[in-house]
Amino acid sequence: MQQYIARRGDTVSRIAARHGLTPEHVIQGNPWAGSQPYLYPGQVLFLPSAPRKRYAVQAGDDAQSIASLFGVGIDELEMLNPGVSSGRICLPGKVLVIPAATRGTEVYLHGEYGPAEIEADAARLADRYSFVSSEVIGYSVLGKPLRLLRIGSGPRHLHVNAALHANEWLTSPCLMSFLEEYAAAYESGADWHGRQPADWHRDWTLWAVPMANPDGVELVQEGAMPDHPHYAELMRWNCGRRSFRHWKANIRGVDLGDQFPAHWEEERDRRQVPGPAPRDYSGPAPLSEPEAAALAALAERVPGDAAVSLHSQGAEIYWNYRGYEPPESKQWAAALAAVSGYRAVELTGSDAGYKDWFIERFRKPGFTVELGVGKNPLPVVDFEDMALDTGLILSAILSNLK
């Protein structure tokens, strides 16, 4: 058992991942950590030693098959189990110690995925792949960079954003994961689930903003401490609740999903939320918030041929807006639904979203994709499935829906 002192930004999941544990292991040693919404800097936790994974050799196993099963190298397996590679101890019933799997990607989840993870992963991808560019298109209310990653050299432009709503932050690593897989496949000349990244790169330029609401994401994941610059207002807007897991808005209590100049006044009147709140307050005016304004300015600077805004949850694809959408939108939506298993939905009674504004402004196909199923924030165990769904949907567009 070791002692650990919590630092700013720590969560149970992040501490667990850093020490090779599960969140349940941390809570087992610190039951109080499961009953308070967030950790506070200075709190002392007692962490058990990381448990080793073990495996009983089955008939027909050899070192290669076991290493492949757990995603580890034979040398690593041999180090913890001398003689396994020669077959001397690789006998049915023999219990082996399994090393931690080697991570072959830059983007992966080690607890929650927040603004710091976006910045670190974006820098690594841009450093590793010369054809991936990274820039800042603006700053959040609290001054966090709104990071843009660009890949491709084609004449058609696809705009994608994620985590416009704070408690839908799992959409961010889903988009980042696809960007990395695209880049890796393009560099090696490989296909991606039967599609050709070389064709994507030739035909399209992809403009991706993986975390459009970094202040809100940080609030959902880490809460607000008394030294937060908006602490008093946040606690008042949150009705005194210390947990912000349900929070969708930005740090000023403005719902960025209702911020775009597409029948904004009608959405404001429909919502009937008069001031800052965890969700559904449209703000004092369209594009009053720097996060929404930056997304709109990017689309104006580089008019797109299509746009996707990644949200959660519901496994649905919204494709229309008041008849402004072009004729091909319905066909595209059906194709995206077919590759993902999601439902293409013709939506009514909703305005002022990014997809709504994009369709009305440019008369091009725009989609809101509700990834996953459940209650936000969706559990980290859903990441792998949601990331694949993200890739299947975006790759269908980049493949011109062939």
Tell me the one-letter amino acid at 7. R
Q: What is the pLDDT of residue 53?
A: 87
**Least reliable range by pLDDT among 77-86, 112-121, 199-208:** 77-86
Q: What is the pLDDT of residue 125?
A: 97
Q: What is the pLDDT of residue 21?
A: 87
Give the helix ranges, DSSP H, for 189-314.
197-203, 214-222, 231-237, 264-271, 290-301
Share of the chain above pLDDT 90, in %: 86
Residue 305 phi/psi, 5-degree rounding, is -90, -15
How many Å separate Cα 20 from the centre of its chain? 22
Mean pLDDT of the 25-42 span = 93
Whether the per-residue pLDDT at 402 is higher than 60: the answer is no
Listed by start position, the domains of the chain span: 2-47, 53-98, 115-216+288-398
Rounded Cα distance, 332 and 348, in Å: 18
Q: What is the pLDDT of residue 110?
A: 83
Whether the per-residue pLDDT at 394 is higher than 60: the answer is yes
The tokens describing 47, both together, are: 């962490």
Whether the per-residue pLDDT at 400 is higher than 80: the answer is yes
Do the domains at 2-47 and 53-98 have one common CATH topology?
A: yes
Q: Using one digit for the tens of pLDDT, what is the confidence trace for 313-360?
A: 999 999 999 999 999 999 999 999 999 999 999 999 999 999 999 999
Tell me the one-letter amino acid at 262. A
For the domain spanning 2-47, the CATH number is 3.10.350.10
Asked if 351 contacts 219 with a C-beta cutoff of 8 angstroms, the reply is: no
Confidence tier at 117 by pLDDT (50, 70, 90): very high
Residue 36 phi/psi, 5-degree rounding, is -110, 145
Average pLDDT over the chain, rounded to an integer: 95
Residues whose CB is less than 8 angstroms from the CB of residue 52 and which lie 6 or more positions away in sequence, other chains included: 97, 98
Rounded Cα distance, 121 and 18, in Å: 17
Q: What is the pLDDT of residue 102?
A: 67
Residue 368 phi/psi, 5-degree rounding, is -100, 120
Q: Using one digit for the tens of pLDDT, what is the confidence trace for 160-195?
A: 999 999 999 999 999 999 999 999 999 999 999 999
Tell me which CATH homologous superfamily contains domain 115-216+288-398: Zn peptidases (3.40.630.10)
Residues whose CB is less than 8 angstroms from the CB of residue 84 and which lie 6 or more positions away in sequence, other chains included: 63, 66, 77, 78, 90, 96
Mean pLDDT of the 384-391 span = 97
Whether the per-residue pLDDT at 374 is higher than 90: the answer is yes
For the domain spanning 53-98, the CATH number is 3.10.350.10
Nearest to 302 by CA among 364, 256, 258: 364
Angle between helix axes 328-340 and 383-398 (nearest 10 degrees) is 140
Q: What is the pLDDT of residue 186?
A: 98
Q: What is the pLDDT of residue 297?
A: 98
Residues identified as active-site: 370
Q: What is the pLDDT of residue 20?
A: 82
Mean pLDDT of the 259-278 span = 97
Mean pLDDT of the 240-252 span = 97
Q: Using one digit for the tens of pLDDT, what is the confidence trace for 78-113?
A: 988 999 988 888 899 999 998 877 677 888 888 899
Q: Using one digit for the tens of pLDDT, what is the confidence trace for 50-79?
A: 778 899 999 999 999 999 898 888 888 998
